[in-house]
A and B are shown apart, each in its own frame.
Chain A
Amino acid sequence: MYKFSLVFLSALALLLGSISTSFSKVEGDTIILGAAVSLTGKYSTNGKHTKNGYELAVKRINGRAAKVQVGGKDYKFKIIYYDDESNAGRAAQLAEKLIKQDGVKYMLGPYSSGLTKAIAPVTEENKIPMVEANGASRSLFTKGYKYLFAVLSAANQYLEVAIDLAVEKNGGKPVNIAMAFEQDAFSQDVRLGIVDAAKRTGSKIIIDDKLPKELNDMAATLAKVKATKPDVLVVSGHSKGALTAIRQISEMKVDVPMLAMTHCDASKLAKQHGEKSEYALCAAQWHKTLSYRDKYFGSGKKFDKDFTAEYGYAPPYQAAESAAALLVWKDAFERANSFDTEKVRDALAATDMQTFYGNIKFSDAGQNIAKPMVLFQVICDGDKCENKVVAPTEWASAELIHPAPAWSER
């Protein structure tokens, strides 16, 4: 009898569980979104930026009189978070859990290309639309995914602008490029962008180093740069690459007219290296001085102010793009005027809007094709170093300083 009742009870629990989950995509007046974000592990800093961006946007949308209007009714957003421990395997597991157990029908992306790559097959298989804001790797958009939408520009677009700029400053003549990229999906995508730009402009790549992931030392690459004197040096290797490059370039006094990098924002380059990082060019998805506008956050500057007031630090672009993902969801729900995942997916695919973060319009592959990357330059005034936008020219808040002065003159 005891055994029987145990079996009966567990069957009942399972049944109830499945009933409750099948309705949990929208509970009462709340639309539930799911996200696996790195709250611990090596991506925990950027995971925190991602979560804060999501949270601020939810707060802003829920705080308005007209929240998310579907079928003439007002709905709030709520996000279920899990910590993926910066681990791809765990992220995929959690995506399964969110979809299968929590019954989530609408997903937000994790932090980093690697984790997004791990989650995308799961959301695709279950036909669950995902709006992601932190996976820029080109390979995400070549697999024919139908339910993946990325609000950010792809990795190969990061530093193309820098090469164009160098050619322009060289009187339209091709330049010599030296480059060092870490051997990971993201950095190698950035590299492909440079290779394309070199082909397009007829420029020559004279150094093409691939930095091992565990590498802490770029001295040999920089010795080559000193010997060959290229016009542009391009470095990408996440925060570690950016900090190592500036440390060793300044210590070895490597003179190069243009130094272009990624992850200056995330590594707090201007703060950690100060004047040593001056004149470095950095690619960014967003900058607060850009003139985009929307009705939720107003402008980039307003977002910067609100975010700083809420979390006590200035928002890096990772937070801005994460907030933009929520605005895309709201817009798609309202246009679909339904909670049917297929209808919402189609509405997402037809997105064409402006947010404080930039214009958003998706290609068939789900990539945002309406927003260019920006380049800023670290410019110091005494001890205070700031990132100033120098390209594209329509948003530039400062003139590009080129060529960078030699170390002997600094």
Chain B
Amino acid sequence: MVQASLDGILLGVLFALIAYGMALQWGVMNIINIAQGELVIMGGYIAYFMYTAGIHPALGIIVSPIIMYFVGWFLYKTVIYKVVDRDLFISILATFGISILTQQLMNFIFGADVVVAQSNFGTTMLFDNSVTLPNAKIFSALVSIIFAIALVMYMKKSRLGRAIRATAQNSRAAKILGVDTEKVYAATFGINAALCGVAGSLIAITFTLHPYVGLPYTVRSFMIVIVAGLGNLPGVALSGMGLGVFEEFADYILGTEFRIGSVFMLLVFILVYRRFKLSRKREYLK
């Protein structure tokens, strides 16, 4: 039980970090990024590349976001700027295209082998060795939390952060008041890609990498954002952890085959419950 809860929390925190980026750019630019998972995997490959060059892959959490920021910025300048403020469906199509392109590109550059980067961080044993926690996972959770807090602070305190928040609230008004929304959009997409880069390099040392495994990360972060709601960053962290724990328990009690199914059941339940609550509120307003 303790093992399952801790595993769930550690997993959830990592997913929450990916969902953070998605919530941010969804909220600011109204874009659903299907290529989110591919950006994560790309970040992971940067850490893996460092690992093969003899550098410790954990340092990927510094190098990968820097490179990925520019990848995100580049993607904005070439594709995304055309679909901001357009129909949501168009943004889904455009990012779907990006996702296929990046998959094939990674396959071309890194090959179709499944790879892992070794952190050799060891294991923490608790309660007379009955609970074992890989240090790599603990490290991942800590790094995710640090980056998440840093992002919230940055959003609150910095000039760009304020501009981003202003643009998210009302892009037209922000533009009138002198905010360069183009720049804000590019930076937002870049920050999202950078967060994916961090998450990717953590995944390289905790799980496995393959050019075609991005989709589950997209779906998971999408779900977390839906549960938490847009612009609710603490909610994203909580729902990430909650889903992680729920998933591990479903696996432990019902069996692995019910793991993903039960998470989706929970999602349906939450959405129905939300609608129910909303409709009651509406009646009251009448």
Contacts and interface: CB of A to CB of B under 8 A. Distances in A.
Interface of A: 40-45, 180, 183, 208-212, 214-221, 223-224, 226, 238-240, 243-244, 247-248, 251-253, 267-268, 272-274
Interface in B241-259: 248, 251-252, 255-257, 259
Contacts of A272: 115-116
B136 interface: yes
Given A43-B112, A273-B116, A211 B208 contact: no
Contacts of B255: 208-210
Interface stretch (B66-74, B141-149, B211-219): B211-219
Most buried by A among B114, B216, B255: B114
10 contacts: A42-B107, A42-B212, A45-B111, A208-B255, A214-B215, A219-B11, A243-B116, A244-B208, A253-B125, A272-B115
Contacts of A248: 134
A217 B263 CA distance: 15
Interface of B: 3-4, 7, 11, 104, 107-108, 111-116, 118, 123, 125, 129-130, 132, 134, 136-137, 203, 207-208, 210-213, 215-216, 248, 251-252, 255-257, 259-260
A251 B208 contact: no
Nearest to A46: B112
A210 B129 contact: no
A240 B256 contact: no
Contact of B207 (A217, A223, A239, A252): A217
Contact of A252 (B134, B211, B257): B134
B4 to A, nearest CB: 6
Given A44-B112, A240-B114, A212 B260 contact: yes
B252 A224 contact: yes
Nearest to B113: A45
Contacts of A215: 256, 259-260
Given A220-B252, A243-B116, A273-B116, A183 B257 contact: yes
B251 A221 contact: yes
B134 A40 contact: no
A226 B128 CA distance: 13
A251 B104 CA distance: 32
B196 to A, nearest CB: 16
Contacts of A273: 116, 118
Contact of B259 (A42, A220, A239, A253): A220
